[in-house]
Amino acid sequence: MNKLLTYIQHVLKHILIWTLAFALYNFFREYGQEIKRPDEYPEMEFFNRVIFQIIVGIISGIVFGTYQYFFNKVLANRFSFGITVAIGSMGYAVVILIFILMAFRAYGLIFQVDIGKANVEQFFATGNATVLIFYCFLVGFFIDFIQQIDKKFGPGNLGKMLSGKFYSPKEEERIFMFLDMKSSTSIAEKLGHIEYSKLIQDCFQDIRAVIPFQAEIYQYVGDEVVLTWQKDNGLSEANCINAFFAFEDQLKKRENHYLDKYGLLPEFKAGIHGGMVIVAEVGEIKREIAYHGDTINTAARIQSMCNTYKAKLLASKQLLNSLQSSDFSFKSVGEVMLRGKEKSTLIYTVEV
C-alpha cells in the first residue's frame, strides 16, 4: 500500500509539473505569433485549448512520471552515474515518442480528426518535432536535476535554503535517532574494506524503509545514520519508534541477499531523544543545513549505551512521555550519567 501511495504521489507531482511545462511551451510558441495550421487541424477555442492542455499534462505526467519512478527504483542504483545517464537518456527518447503519439491520438479523439500515419510523419519531418523533443528532454533533465539536489540536501531542504529560512539560526523542537551497526569493527576486519563499504551501501539503500514514517535522513557518518523528525511528525503514531523496527524488518526481508553476499545479516542499534535544537545554514565552500544543541549530543550518548545494556533500541524517558500512542514495551535501565552530562538521564529499552 505504501509503495502504491508513493507511486501515485510521484505521478501526481509529475502531472502538475508537466501541465505547467506545456502551458509555458505553448505560451512561448504562440504568443504574439500567427500559427498556420493545415485545414484539417482546426484552431482551438480557448476552452478546448485548456481542456487539451490538461489532457496533455495528464498524459505526460503519467508517462514520464511512471518511467522515472521505475527507472530510479530498478536501474538507477545499479550502475555508475555515467552509464545511468546514458541508459536513462535512451529510455527517455523512447518515452518521448510514446508521449507524442499518445498526444496525437488524444487530439484526434477530442476534435474528431483523423490523424493518419502521413500526418505523424509530416510532424516529425518539421522543426516542430525537434523543438518539442528537445523541450521534453530539457524539462526531464530539469526535474532530475532538482530531484538530485533535493536528495543531496534532504527532501524539502532545497526550498528552505532558497527561501533563506535558515540563513539566520532558528530554534526548533525535533527528535533525533542515531543508528549504528553492531560489531562494525569485527565485520570490517572480516570482510575487508571494499566489501565492508559495499555492505554499508546496501544497508543505506535499505534505510529507505524509514521514509513512510516521515523520517528525514540528516547525516551519514561512517556506518552510522542520523535520522530526525519534526516533533509532531515523529510523535504521531510513534513514527520515531516504528521507523527503527521498519528498518530492522527491511534488513530481515533481504536476509538471503546479505547472507549470500557477505555471509552475515547486519544488525543496528539505536538511541533516540527529543528536544530543542538550533538549525542553521552553514558553510561557504560546501553549504548544508546543520543542527546544533544538547539534544543531538544526548541522542548520540544514549546510542553509545546500547552495548552496555545489551539493547538494540534505547530512548529517553523525556521522549517516551511525549508519545501519543504506542504498542511497544518499555523497560527502565535506570538513571544513567551520560558522558559529558552534568545530570543523569532516565533511559528505557524499547521492544516490540
pLDDT digits (tens, 9 = 90+) for 257-290: 999 999 999 999 999 999 999 988 787 777 777 8
Separation in Å, CA 1 to CA 7, 8, 21, 212, 277:
10, 11, 30, 11, 34
Residue 97 has pLDDT above 90, yes or no: no
Q: Are 36 and 125 part of one and the same domain?
A: yes
Q: What is the mean pLDDT of residues 304-330?
A: 88
Q: Are 126 and 177 part of one and the same domain?
A: no
In this predicted structure, what is the pLDDT of residue 77? Answer: 61
Q: Of 153, 180, 198, which marks where a domain is finished?
A: 153
Domain CATH code at residue 197: 3.30.70.1230
Number of neighbours of residue 18 by Cβ within 10 angstroms: 26
What confidence tens digit (pLDDT) does each residue in 131-153 have?
A: 878 888 788 777 777 776 766 66
Q: Using pLDDT thresholds of 50, 70 and 90, give the confidence band for residue 39.
A: very low
Q: Are 210 and 198 part of one and the same domain?
A: yes
Q: Are 84 and 220 part of one and the same domain?
A: no
What confidence tens digit (pLDDT) does each residue in 49-69 have?
A: 677 778 878 888 888 888 888
In this predicted structure, what is the pLDDT of residue 69? Answer: 82
Q: Are 138 and 85 part of one and the same domain?
A: yes
Q: Of 153, 181, 204, which marks where a domain is finished?
A: 153
Q: Are 125 and 163 part of one and the same domain?
A: no
44-48: list long-range contacts, CB under 8 Å, 24+ apart. Answer: 44/111, 48/110, 48/111
Q: Are 91 and 173 part of one and the same domain?
A: no
Q: Are 144 and 166 part of one and the same domain?
A: no
Number of structural domains in the chain: 2
For 322, the domain range is 157-351
Nearest to 345 by CA among 310, 321, 312: 321
Residue 120 has pLDDT above 60, yes or no: yes
Q: Are 93 and 234 part of one and the same domain?
A: no
Q: Using pLDDT thresholds of 50, 70 and 90, give the confidence band for residue 201.
A: very high
